[in-house]
Amino acid sequence: MKTILVVDDKQSLRQLVKEYLEQEGYRVIEAADGREALFVARREKPDLIVLDIMMAEVDGHEFLRYHNREADTPVIVLTARLEENDRILGLELGADDYITKPFSPRVVSARVKAVLRRKRAEPVSEEQTIRIRDLVIHPGRREVLVKGSPTDLTYTEFGVLHTLARRPGWVFTRSQIVDAVRGDDYPVTDRSVDVQVVSLRKKLGPCASYIETVRGVGYRLKE
């Protein structure tokens, strides 16, 4: 049985999520703020954490900064609909997904299942050939085939595609994409990544729709 830690300063919300996840067969434990969550996570070692961002005592961002030094537990952050910076910062600090408030318990359950499923799948190695429907990526040869035909990509375009393809379904911020392709000392702007994705989609032709835009955050490759 998988253990889920639900962290939120509103007891009613914790109870709502807990009841629904328990119906889905999970063991659910709770914490009312980030400080308590750190102790609970160390003791219980949950399989996944559902984490509110806005809390009075050690908020979600601070929790992520501390917790990620100790464990690689997948985290789904909860954030208000208009707080775009919270979504971006949460992902950059290591969160695996986010859910905007208000939400339904069914959405939480679906996201929990998806993140746990992705967590079970080991990331593709740097040199392993990747096949996603009509798209084939040969990292060692830096070759991309679309429906069996080679596609000529630039160094950066290939790097962007390979980064996304190694973890299908994962959302990457623009900064994370640039860090993976060019290194963390490379200047990044939203436009520098967006331009590469526009060009990449044109060259991928019928596979262009595999790259999804996550509004206000970044990009992901469809699972």
For residues 170 and 183, give the distance between their C-alpha atoms in angstroms, rounded to a whole number: 20
Q: What is the maximum alpha-carbon separation in the chain? A: 55
For the chain, the structural domain boundaries read 3-120, 130-221
The listed range with the strongest mean pLDDT (102-111, 154-163, 205-214) is 205-214
Mean pLDDT score, 51-71: 83
CATH fold label, 130-221: Arc Repressor Mutant, subunit A (1.10.10)
Please provide the DSSP assignment of 181-206 as one string. Answer: HH-TTS---HHHHHHHHHHHHHHHGG
Rounded Cα distance, 131 and 91, in Å: 26
* Contact indicator for 220, 193 with CB cutoff of 8 Å: no
- CA dist., res. 223 & res. 208, Å (int): 14
- Is the pLDDT at 81 greater than 90? The verdict is no
- Structure-token pair, residue 114: 């998806």
Model confidence band, residue 152 (pLDDT cutoffs 50, 70, 90): confident
167-206 pLDDT, tens per residue?
888 889 888 887 777 654 444 456 778 888 988 999 999 9
- For residue 103 the two structure tokens come to 């939400």
Task: Identify whether the C-beta of residue 166 lies closer than 8 Å to the C-beta of residue 118.
Answer: no
Class in CATH terms, 3-120: alpha beta
Most confident listed range (6-10, 56-60, 111-115, 136-140): 6-10
